[in-house]
Structures are given as structure tokens and as C-alpha cells.
Amino acid sequence: MNKSYHKEILHIALPSILSNITVPLLGLIDLTIAGHLGAASYIGAIAIGGTIFNMIYWIFAFLRMGTSGMTSQAYGADNKQEIQLLLYRSLATSTGIAILILLLQGPLLHLALSVMSPTEAVTDFASIYFRICVWGAPAVLGLYSLTGWFIGLQNAKYPLYVAIIQNLVNIAASLFFVFVWHMDVAGVALGTVIAQYCGLTLSLYYCHRMHRRLGLPYTFVPSSVFRKNAIRRFFSVNRDIFLRTLCLVCVTLYFTSAGSCQGEYILAANALLMQYFTLYSYFMDGFAFAGEALSGKCAGAEDYQALKKVIRNLFLWGCGVALTFTLFYMAGGKALMNLLTNEASVVATASDYLPWAVLIPFAGLSAFIWDGVFIGLTATRYMLLSMLGATLTFFSVYLSLFPIWQNHALWLAFLLYLFVRGLMQHLLYRNKILTLHPTN
């Protein structure tokens, strides 16, 4: 029986890991092309534009997570009508948010540039990049909804195929517009937008295939889609995830800001070591996605014995990944630094804090797995509570210990932030969720 659970977990986790790895490629492609335009201001413009969109879209990641959790429950309950209605609700929400972003694009750009304060040349190019790329918002947010829906239906392959095609189109289109039509930054932005809409189009095609495979109805009845109780639950789940994401963004931004206040070498060293966390997260997020899909399916089917086994096996895989990364960072952490930068002074500074990076995998293990499980169970209120507790821990530890430990205090606070998230979710699962659904 365990072999079946392992197979189900890997069926979702492996394609999700590959999809996650492709995510930074879109920004990397744009940055690489900009790097061959002959001026540093082009690179700065793409970097700033990319940062703006990363922040905007990161905040609305609840569209994917909320859709995934609720869809997996409907799938487990074999409620085909609800599966379809959830897709409509999610797409309607993503469209509404995208329209809002388009309407507020001027103030958003002004606010972002005021905070970042780039040079005049970079500001001009970043504005061009932003005003073109912002029209990709409906595609990006629509893809969030569709990706969550696919994962909820236990299908992680479609999002992977979409990510691959999107990257290929982005490369081809951006190269054409930049080096054939000589559109510079505008060409890079236009190539990105075209790739995003190609990704959306392919996702809609896969959505049609999923309808045929599962025998889902296409009927759109507004009174059913916007049913009061269903809408209240939909927005309640997404509100909790949205607030949780805001806390996550605050910690991430403050971590960077706190490093910046300690000088450029500490800032660079922290950015370097944070790549260790990012790399690890690409893999662990794959198992979190598996947790969303499988725990939601178990909850929908009201099979809480199976849920218990799914969680146990998710933690087995998580421990394996964490151990692998820990050993890799212990043995090759210094070599990875030298691969990421050839600045000897930055490597020397980062080496002082490398032991903290080695602890990241096991400190964050539980948080990743429980995040996936809680999303699948739509236990988002408890997920938010754990994030609030972890955020409070982060700021309390850092502000208390910084006068003594300086940057070591920042890393300790970050690791405790990860650990407390997982610990609180574990306690909430045992003391709150299990009491509602005892498995004996």
C-alpha cells in the first residue's frame, strides 16, 4: 500500500519540481538578452521591472493555492459540478484582480520607482518594460488559477508542459524582437507578454482536455458560480492565504533590508546564501504541491486514515530531500559559492555564515510539508496563525539579538521563523484538526 502512496506523491512532486525550476528562467532569459544590448541601464531596467512584477504576482499566489486545495477536495468527493464551479470562481477572481492591476498600473509603477530610486536612464527603460509587461497580468493570474485547478485534479504534468513551451516562446520571441526588429527593452517585454499568453492558451487547451477526460459540464450558471455560501468560503480561504503571503513578503523584504543596513558585503553575502534556501525550496515546494493535491483528495473522500498515511509518506520524502541538501551544503557549500560569484571578498564574508545555510533544510522541512497539507485541507486559518507566530518570532529574535550578534542574529531569526512555522502547524494539526477527524 505504501508503494501506492509513494507513487502518487512522486506523480505530482517530480513534475512540480521541474516546473518550479523553470520559473526563474523567464526572468533570467530577459536579463541575459538585456545584458547583450550594450548598456548597464538595460540590465538595471529589466532587474527592477522583474522585481516589481515578482512582488505583485507573489502577493496573489493565493489564486493557485486556494484553487488547488478546494479543487482537490471536490475531486476526492467526486463532485464534478463543484470542480467546474471552482474553476469559474477562480478565473473570475483572477480576471477581476488583473483588471484592477491594469487600471492602477500608473500608481503602482510610481510607487515602485519611488521606493527603489533608480537612475534616470534606468527609470526610463524600466517604465517602458513595465508598461508593456503589465498587459500580461490577465495571462499570469489566469495561469495561477488553471495551475491550481490542475494540481487539485492530481495533474502536475500539464503545468510542466506549459512552463516549458512558455520559456521556449519567450526565448524565440524576445530574440526576434530585440535582434531582428531592434526593439531593445520593449522587445524583451513584448516577447515576455506573448509567451505568457501562449502559456495561457495552452493551459486552456489542457483545461478542455481535462473536461473531456473527467466528463465535466461546461454549463455556466451565474447563480451557482456566485452562490453566497460558496463565494464566502472561496474568499475566506483566499483571504487567509493572502494575509499569510503578506507576512512572508514582509519577512523576506526585511531580511534583505536588514542585510543592506550592515553594508554591501553583508548584503551580497546574504543574497548569495539565500540562493541555498531558494534552491532547496524548488524541491520542497514539489512535495508541498503533492501535499495539497493528496490531502485535499483524502479530505474530500473523508478518508482520514489515508490522509494520515499520506502525511507520513510526505515527511519521509521531505526528510530524504532535507538530508540530501544538508550533506550537499556541508560538502559543497563553499564550491557553490565560488560558482555563484568570483568576488573573493563576498565569498569570504558569506563563509562566516555558511553554517546557518547548512541548517536551512531541516529547519524548513516541516513548514513546507505542513503548508501543502493545510492548503489541501483548506485549514488556512490555522496556516495564517502559524505564519503570524513565526513572523512575530522572526522580528522578536532579530531585534533582541542584533546588538550582540549582528548578522548572525538575522540568520538565527530566519531559521527560527521557518522552524516555528512548522512546529505551530504540527501542534495545530494534532490539537485542532485531528480532534475533528480522529483516525484512531
For the stretch 356-394, pLDDT in tens is: 999 999 999 999 999 999 999 999 999 999 999 999 999
Report pLDDT digits (tens) over 235-267. Answer: 999 999 999 999 999 999 899 889 888 888 898
pLDDT at 438: 60
* Cβ-based neighbours of 127, under 8 Å, separated by 6 or more: 109, 113
Does 110 map to a domain? yes
Which residues lie below 8 Å from residue 218, measured CB to CB, with a gap of 6+? Answer: 84, 211
Among 202, 226, 250, the domain-final residue is 226
Q: Among the three residues 192, 226, 260, which one is the final residue of a domain in this structure? A: 226
Q: For residues 20 and 4, is the Cβ–Cβ distance under 8 A?
A: no
Same domain, 196 and 330: no
- In whole angstroms, give the CA distance from residue 163 to residue 323: 28
pLDDT tops 90 at residue 50: no
Domain that includes residue 121, residue range: 1-226
In whole angstroms, what is the distance from residue 308 CA to residue 111 CA?
47
User: In sequence order, what DSSP letters do the residues of 369-404 get, joined into one string?
Assistant: HHHHHHHHTT-HHHHHHHHHHHHHHHHHHHHHHHHH
My answer on whether 2 and 145 are in the same domain is: yes
Q: Are 386 and 424 in contact (CB under 8 A)?
A: yes
- As a whole number, mean pLDDT of residues 165-190 equals 93
Residue 439 has pLDDT above 60, yes or no: no
Statement to judge: residues 296 and 366 lie in one domain: yes
Q: Is the pLDDT at 189 greater than 90, yes or no? A: yes
Tell me which of 39 and 43 has the higher pLDDT.
43
Residues 291 and 310 in one domain: yes
The answer to the question of residue 435 being in a domain is yes
- 231 part of a folded domain: no
* 241 and 220 assigned to the same domain: no
Q: What are the angstrom distances between the C-alpha of 244 and each of 111, 198, 313, 399?
A: 23, 31, 26, 21
Q: Which is higher by pLDDT, 434 or 74? A: 74
Give the pLDDT band (50/70/90) at residue 57.
very high
Query: Which of 187, 203, 226 corresponds to the end of one domain?
Result: 226
Regarding whether 289 and 193 lie in a shared domain, the answer is no
Q: Same domain, yes or no, for 65 and 209?
A: yes
Average pLDDT, the chain: 93
Q: 381 in a domain, yes or no? A: yes
Q: What are the b/e assignments for 255-291, b being 16+ CB within 10 Å? A: beebbeeeeeebbbbbbbbbebbeebebbbbbbbbbb
Regarding whether 202 and 242 lie in a shared domain, the answer is no
| Confidence label for 41 from pLDDT (cuts 50, 70 and 90) | confident
- pLDDT band for position 1 (50/70/90)? very low
- Mean pLDDT of the region 299-308: 94
Statement to judge: residues 90 and 195 lie in one domain: yes
Highest mean pLDDT (candidates 103-117, 173-187, 287-301): 287-301
At how many degrees (to 10) do helices 137-152 and 184-214 cross?
30
Assess whether 213 and 257 both reside in one domain.
no
pLDDT value of position 408? 97
Domains of the chain: total: 2
- Burial class (CB within 10 angstroms; exposed 0-12, middle 13-18, buried 19+) of 55: middle
Q: What are phi and psi of 97, to 5 degrees?
A: -65, -40
| Domain co-membership, 63 together with 131 | yes
Candidate from 15-29, 95-109, 264-278, 320-334 with smallest mean pLDDT: 15-29
Average pLDDT over residues 384-410: 97
Q: Is position 331 within any domain?
A: yes
Higher pLDDT, 36 or 244: 244
- CA 287 centroid distance within chain: 13
The pLDDT value recorded for residue 200 is 98
Is 260 among the domain residues?
A: yes
**298 domain-assigned:** yes
State mean pLDDT over 95-124.
92
Would 232 be classed as within a structural domain?
no
pTM to 2 decimals? 0.94
Q: Are residues 101 and 3 in the same domain?
A: yes
Distance CA 239, CA 235 (A): 6
